[in-house]
Amino acid sequence: MNNVPPVQSGQQPFKKVLIANRGEIALRVLRALQQLDIASVAIYHHSDRHSPVVQQADEAIEIVGDSPAAAHLDGQQIIKICQRLGVEAVHPCYGFLSENAEFARTLEQAGITFIGPEADIIELMGDKITSRDFVARHGFPVPPSVNLEPDHPDFLRNIVDMGFPVVVKASAGGGGKGMSIVHSQDELQDALRIAASEAEKYFGDRRVYVEKYFTSARHIEVQVLGDGHRVVHLGERECSIQRRFQKVIEEAPSPALTSAKRQEICDTAKGIAQSAGYNSAGTVEFLYTSEGSYFFLEMNTRIQVEHPVTEMTFNVDLVAEQIHIAAGRPLSLNQETLSSSGHSIECRICAEDAFNDFMPATGKVLFLKEPCGQAVRFDSGLYLNQAITSAFDPMLAKLIVHAPTRQQAIEAMRQALQELVILGVKHNIDYLDTVLRHQQFIEGHFDTGFIKQYDHELTPLQPDKQQQQAILATALLSERSNRLLAEATPDLHAAIGHWRN
């Protein structure tokens, strides 16, 4: 991992911190801890025992569970490790326990700091229904919605009055789970049943609500930092390139916003966080319509997958800031002195089969060549011979670039994607390049429906066997050691001299 902004020097905020996660984000947090001279503890499931974070952390402890994910979700087991090793604070990263108010509260009761907002704030903003009500009460815009129970006499009438299409969402949801778009009244009952079932399965909470669906809207989110008294924003991120409600490419700043609209949205995000007394790194997400209106969607009370594009444009280490705030220190940043420069793009590298409806792929990492460059950042926990299984999210790594202009950032990303080689598991690198080459993307003319709308143009053709062999040979020869070995290998007939059978 390179090109992460430098952290501020100063008094050590904690002596020892446990990283309650895995993969690229665990390494990202480890890097911040090392910069701050804080001792680190990594936890890992047996299947991850060879991962880089396990090798590089000061201490590493194996966790157990019915499955790898279950082990990482076992808060009590993690707290016992903290107590045994004298850990002062836990960084949850994203996913797993990062937005679990009960985990944060239990840590606090055990005298261990949760590196994130207070449990009450997680509870308030983590629930989609209560957070929308909170935001609306403070005078900020929320999209039209129906929050009534499905058997309420006004439920259907209110939805019909709101107008189709609508989107059914899980109140405790995220990542597209428990969400579906409904175009007519006939589809509604099935969509509600499926959404409630998924919500129960993934979040243990069957509550769903129905929101107006805007067909040509963009997904804009604003990064905030708060210390419980003061909040600053660090601009917005454009996250409209999504597939099945999952972000694929993110960038900062958004090509859709004017300076005036940017200021308006960022001030709104700041106001929402300020109203909640927010005290950590967080993200306020908005729906931005083609008419220029915007509505609050949700607030994520954790570090985001896409935080590097903000770090690249603002030159701020968000994880380090988050750690300082958790230690009770006041914000070191002032809105007046914060400024961004240039343009940054992030691509999510996922193990998935673009030729088979993007089904998650499995395999083993047989060859890895990372891109490099002054403004290229590769956040990854990958290593050779790593087994890629279906036990975790299919995201393998994140590739981030920064350049003076958006056009230059697109070109830099395409170059970096071409340099990145991962063999042994199917991935979406070619697909990402196809998106970046699409004229509508280049011109910034897209919304959250982009991938579905241009699906027939974006899905690459299956390479034939000869092309696959050429790609494999090129990848292997891109390594200097392999190239030198090939050049040093004598011709077969020359090697055996004049003898012929």
Q: What pLDDT score does 302 carry?
A: 97
Q: Does the pLDDT at position 199 exceed 60? A: yes
Q: What pLDDT score does 498 carry?
A: 41
Q: How far is CA 412 from CA 400, 408, 415, 417, in A?
A: 9, 6, 5, 9
Sheet strands (E) in 12-127: 16-19, 39-44, 59-62, 89-91, 113-114
The CA radius of gyration of the chain, in Å to the nearest whole number, is 24
Side by side, which strands form the sheet with 145-146?
145-146, 208-212, 166-170, 180-182
Report yes or no: 139 and 174 within 8 Å, Cβ to Cβ: no
Report yes or no: 128 and 170 within 8 Å, Cβ to Cβ: yes
For this structure, is 230 an active site residue? no
Reported as a single tens digit per residue, the pLDDT across 47-95 is 999 999 999 999 999 999 999 999 999 999 999 999 999 999 999 999 9
Reported as a single tens digit per residue, the pLDDT across 415-455 is 999 999 999 999 999 999 999 999 999 999 999 999 999 99
* Residue range 21-39: mean pLDDT, rounded: 97
What number of residues does the chain have?
Answer: 501
Share of the chain above pLDDT 70, in %: 90
Reported pTM: 0.90
* CA triple 283-285-289, angle to 5 deg: 155
Tell me which of 132, 207, 243, 302 is the catalytic residue.
Answer: 302
Q: Does the pLDDT at position 496 exceed 50? A: no
* Residue range 312-327: mean pLDDT, rounded: 97
Least confident of 88-102, 202-216, 333-347: 202-216
Single out the residue of 301, 285, 254, 296 nearest to residue 98, CA to CA. 301
